[in-house]
């Protein structure tokens, strides 16, 4: 229902008269006519009045000018429901709006043409990073630069068109391809920058760690020549791939240091252990053969010791360049040997200070003493370790009663500090995160196990650097295959020793008689083939005494004959002695 008011209806809907017509009517001689046109006209204003049509035209022009200044976007609002509540979806209502708003037709029309358009210089500016020719700026015609970009991404020519000042792209997928490649370029460059920055920060961090570690031993202990500039790695066992070792640690426990070290018992017998240092504990992990149960005979990792860092009372070292140190505890001490002792002790001091707010006590003497744990009726007592000046960089051990004498040559001065910057190699070569067994060095002067030195027949020079025995977690090392057909190729004889009788010309008639004789004579029967002799197992003779440091290693004395089962380029061979198979170092024996 609509209500109308008639007052002023005619005034609202009457036609607008021009000023000249009103002036004409007001100049009439009849008063009635002048009364019908009482308007007061402005004498100064002499323009035509604005009509409704002119107003509409002006507003339309203003609207078009405003729209031309903007980028149009096809936007349609769809109401999912009438309740105005979230998560309320009326599918029938949405389908009705999509159908009657013409969204499908609009999309179909847009896809039929070239929907995306962009000026040449803006297109070059956005996608210039895709090619080195356009980055940072394109030198040349903008049209050719756009074509070069499109060709570099292998876009089909029917997917774009070149205008006078704009490029037109047909399918959205082509535009998505450009955007994805642009994001990949930015991501790649960002990774390069991050890698360079992280490398710079890591170098500074490791230089600082090396400097701090050097300050701990500065003016107290001699340094080794090939290890003073070594970078610190921390995890030398590859703990991420060693679940058999991770089982003894807490979940998500951080590992500061992990390496295979040598522990000496009360009789100074070396035993291999895995040393793991965390922010709160240090672990000693060994290996034992299972004696009972379904896993009988298998070698399993066993947690030998787990000690809180607060329970460590101090560390004792010698003033020589050796790798021995003693970890003092409340109950018993640990006499250990590690080629990465500087890194280990520096991290231990750092974590100890964080937990206790006090510095760890370090003692540097050439006569050390450590306590051993009491076992059964045998007393615990103490053991002494004496360091004397010797020859070479390899420590020579001599045990006598409760005293162990370590002889080693002079190293770098006590006030030596790291000099080289950047990546350096350790004195045992490049150590990968995954543990691998390295061959122990042959003794110099005196054997590590107490046997005297014997000359080597091959005359190969020994390394001056000390390398602790390392081995893989499971099984023997893989054998290296010999060159193909190496054993089948006979040695070439000199021409003077070769038989040249086949080059001689036979006598007259001799060739024919020989041919007839060979045809008339029957070949003798072949008979049974001879049995093939058994392949001789290669053997070797021990040059030095070796005591196995693990359950899968062979122990032998000087002169023992060992059957070689496998030879590996790493230096650890597999052999058999007295019916027992195991691994042994190849540089302790000589083939016979």
Q: What is the CATH number of the domain that holds 342?
A: 2.30.29.30
Nearest to 215 by CA among 424, 415, 427: 415
Residues 384 and 451 in one domain: no
> For the CA atoms of the chain, what is the radius of gyration?
47
Q: How far is CA 407 from the centre of its chain?
A: 41
pLDDT under 70 in the chain at which residues?
11-16, 42-49, 376-380, 420-535
Residues 443 and 378 in one domain: no
pLDDT at 52: 82
Phi and psi at residue 137, in whole multiples of 5°? -150, 150
Residues 293 and 403 in one domain: yes
Distance CA 518, CA 531 (A): 30
Last residue of a domain, one of 388, 408, 428: 408
Q: How far is CA 78 from the centre of its chain?
A: 50
Residues 309 and 447 in one domain: no
Distance CA 256, CA 384 (A): 30
286 falls within a domain: yes
Residues 344 and 464 in one domain: no
Count of CB atoms situated within 10 Å of the CB of 326 = 22
pLDDT at 457: 36
pLDDT at 12: 65
136 falls within a domain: no
pLDDT at 275: 96
Q: Is the peptide bond before 103 cis (omega within 30 degrees of 0)?
A: no
Residues 292 and 234 in one domain: yes
Distance CA 548, CA 568 (A): 18
Residues 239 and 329 in one domain: yes
Residues 393 and 458 in one domain: no
pLDDT at 139: 86
Sign of CA dihedral 327, 333, 335, 336: negative
Task: Kindly report the CATH number assigned to the domain that includes residue 455.
Answer: 2.30.30.40
Last residue of a domain, one of 359, 393, 408: 408
306 falls within a domain: yes
Count of CB atoms situated within 10 Å of the CB of 462 = 13
pLDDT at 428: 42
Residues 403 and 449 in one domain: no
111 falls within a domain: no
pLDDT at 449: 39
Q: How far is CA 420 from the centre of its chain?
A: 25
Q: What element of type H or E holds 302?
A: strand 299-308
> What's the pTM value of the predicted model, to 2 decimals?
0.48
Residues 232 and 366 in one domain: yes
Last residue of a domain, one of 408, 429, 451: 408
79 falls within a domain: no
pLDDT at 448: 39
Residues 228 and 273 in one domain: yes
Residues 356 and 441 in one domain: no
pLDDT at 552: 81
Its domain, for residue 591, covers: 437-478+536-592
Domain count, the chain: 3
499 falls within a domain: no
Residue whose entry in the numeric block shows the structure tokens 């107003």: 55
pLDDT at 513: 54
pLDDT at 175: 83
90 falls within a domain: no
Task: Give, rounded to a whole angstrom, the gap between the first and last alpha carbons of the chain.
Answer: 122
390 falls within a domain: yes
């Amino acid at each position: 229902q609509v209500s109308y008011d008639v007052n002023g209806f005619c005034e609202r809907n009457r036609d607008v008269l021009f000023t000249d017509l009103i002036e004409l009517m007001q100049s009439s001689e009849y008063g009635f006519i002048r009364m019908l046109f009482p308007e007061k006209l402005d004498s100064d204003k002499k323009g035509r009045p604005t009509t409704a049509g002119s107003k509409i035209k002006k507003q339309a022009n203003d609207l078009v000018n405003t729209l031309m200044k903007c980028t149009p976007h096809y936007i349609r609002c769809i109401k999912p429901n009438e309740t105005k509540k979230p998560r309320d979806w009326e599918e029938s209502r949405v389908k009705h709006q999509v159908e009657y708003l013409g969204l499908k037709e609009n999309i179909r029309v847009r896809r039929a043409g070239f929907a995306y358009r962009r000026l040449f210089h803006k297109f070059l500016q956005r996608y210039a990073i895709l090619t080195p020719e356009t980055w940072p700026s394109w030198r040349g015609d903008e049209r050719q630069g756009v074509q070069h970009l499109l060709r570099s991404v292998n876009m089909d020519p029917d997917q774009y068109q070149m205008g006078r000042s704009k490029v037109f792209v047909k399918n959205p997928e082509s535009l998505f391809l450009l955007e994805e490649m642009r994001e990949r370029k930015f991501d790649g460059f960002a990774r390069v920058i991050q890698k360079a920055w992280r490398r710079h920060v890591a170098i500074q961090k490791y230089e600082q760690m090396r400097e701090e570690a050097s300050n701990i031993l500065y003016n107290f202990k001699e340094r080794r020549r090939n290890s003073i500039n070594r970078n610190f790695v921390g995890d030398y066992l590859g703990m991420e791939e060693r679940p058999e070792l991770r089982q003894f640690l807490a979940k998500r426990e951080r590992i500061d240091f992990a390496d295979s070290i040598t522990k000496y018992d009360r009789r100074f017998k070396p035993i291999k252990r895995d040393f793991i240092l965390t922010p709160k504990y240090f672990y000693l992990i060994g290996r034992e053969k299972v004696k009972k149960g379904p896993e009988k005979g298998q070698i399993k990792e066993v947690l030998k010791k787990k000690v809180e860092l607060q329970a460590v009372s101090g560390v004792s070292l010698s003033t020589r360049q050796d790798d021995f140190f003693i970890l003092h505890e409340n109950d018993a001490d640990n006499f250990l040997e590690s080629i990465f002792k500087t890194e280990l002790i520096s991290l231990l001091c750092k974590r100890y200070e964080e937990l206790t707010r006090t510095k760890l006590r370090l003692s540097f003497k050439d006569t050390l003493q450590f306590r051993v744990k009491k076992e059964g009726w045998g007393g615990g007592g103490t053991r002494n370790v004496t360091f004397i000046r010797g020859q070479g960089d390899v420590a020579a051990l001599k045990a006598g009663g409760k005293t162990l004498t370590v002889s080693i040559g002079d190293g770098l001065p006590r006030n030596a500090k790291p000099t080289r910057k950047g990546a350096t190699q350790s004195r045992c070569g490049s150590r990968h995160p995954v543990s691998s067994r390295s061959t122990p060095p042959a003794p110099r002067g005196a054997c590590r196990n107490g046997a005297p030195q014997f000359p080597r027949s091959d005359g190969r020079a020994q390394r001056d650097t000390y390398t602790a025995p390392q081995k893989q977690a499971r099984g023997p090392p893989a054998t290296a295959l010999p060159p193909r057909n190496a054993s089948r190729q006979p040695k070439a004889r000199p021409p003077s020793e070769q038989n040249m009788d086949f080059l001689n010309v036979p006598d007259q008639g001799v060739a024919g008689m020989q041919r007839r004789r060979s045809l008339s004579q029957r070949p003798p029967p072949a008979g049974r083939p001879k049995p093939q002799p058994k392949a001789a197992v290669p053997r070797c003779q021990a040059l030095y005494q070796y005591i196995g440091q693990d359950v899968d290693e062979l122990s032998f004395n000087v002169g023992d004959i060992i059957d070689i089962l496998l030879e590996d380029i790493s230096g650890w061979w597999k052999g058999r002695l007295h019916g027992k198979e195991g691994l042994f170092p190849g540089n302790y024996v000589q083939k016979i």
